[in-house]
Amino acid sequence: MEFHPQKCQLLRVTNKRIFIKGDYHIHNILLKETASAKYLGVTIDSKLLFKDQFTGTIRKANNILAFLKRNFNNCPQSVKDDCYKTLVRPVLEYGSAVWDPHHRVDIVNLEKVQKRAARFATGNYSFVPGETKVNMDTLGWKPLEERRAAIKLNIFFKAKLGLVDIPLNHISTNSKLNSRRQGTHAIPASNVDSHLYSFYPNTIRLWNSLPDAGKIIKSADSFKSYLDKITLRSAF
């Protein structure tokens, strides 16, 4: 494989204010440093805050939703529902196991897109308090925050079964048979928020909060169905 220096960038991921700087070259061409870069469709920034990812995701989802409103406004609710689930929601959830936000402002801004989509799908544009829940119940849509939690847990569960190649050998399990926390995992220590809310610590906290009935399930499909029936994080 031949690298094209003009298409390559240098991204330093660090929280340090003072760090060792160095130049990197490919074919004797100096790489330009950048504050953020897209990798496999996810925008990674130098401090792993994912602000550019949130902004880009919301912009793209809103653009698609605006297109649907212009062209499918008179369609039945079922068609609008399918359009949202096929074209908009995948954008809002792509790679979310990596960038799942923890700041309320980012969570709310993502939910606003789905709320707009729900008003479009149901035709109920009332802004009276409680109407959002009416729309969501009518459509059977869960909050995106809740869906992201389920996505992370499903990935974690598949990793425990060896169905996805995500290492768990560094995570210890509580082995006390009589412990009320039986089946839980030790949460990795974190010194910064970028690690505290990253995949492993965040998903392990979700796993530990599950009822015992969920932790003893043996099938990935059964586990997914189980998560559909419970509330992990939030409700409208």
How far the first Cα of the chain sits from its last, in Å, is: 50
| pLDDT score recorded for residue 234 | 72
Beta-sheet strands, E only, within the chain: 9-10, 25-26, 29-30, 32-33, 36-39, 42-45
> Residue 17's pLDDT is what?
82
Q: What is the pLDDT of residue 177?
A: 39
pLDDT attached to residue 178 = 40
* Residues whose CB falls within 8 Å of the CB of residue 231, separated by 6 or more in sequence, listed in order: 146
CA 195 and chain centroid, separation:
15
Average pLDDT over the chain, rounded to an integer? 91
Residues 126, 112, 142, CA angle at the centre, nearest 5°?
A: 90
**Which residue positions in the chain have pLDDT lower than 50?**
176-179
Map 66-112 to HEC letters: HHHHHHHCCCCHHHHHHHHHHHHHHHHHCCHHHHCCCCHHHHHHHHH
56-58-63-69 Cα dihedral, nearest 10 degrees: 170
Pairing mode of beta strands 25-26, 9-10: unpaired
Strand partners, 10: 33
Model pLDDT, residue 236? 62
- pLDDT value for 171: 83
Single out the residue of 64, 65, 44, 61 nearest to residue 53, CA to CA.
44
DSSP secondary structure letter of residue 130: T
Instruction: Specify the pLDDT at position 3.
Output: 81
Phi, psi (deg, nearest 5) at residue 37: -155, 150
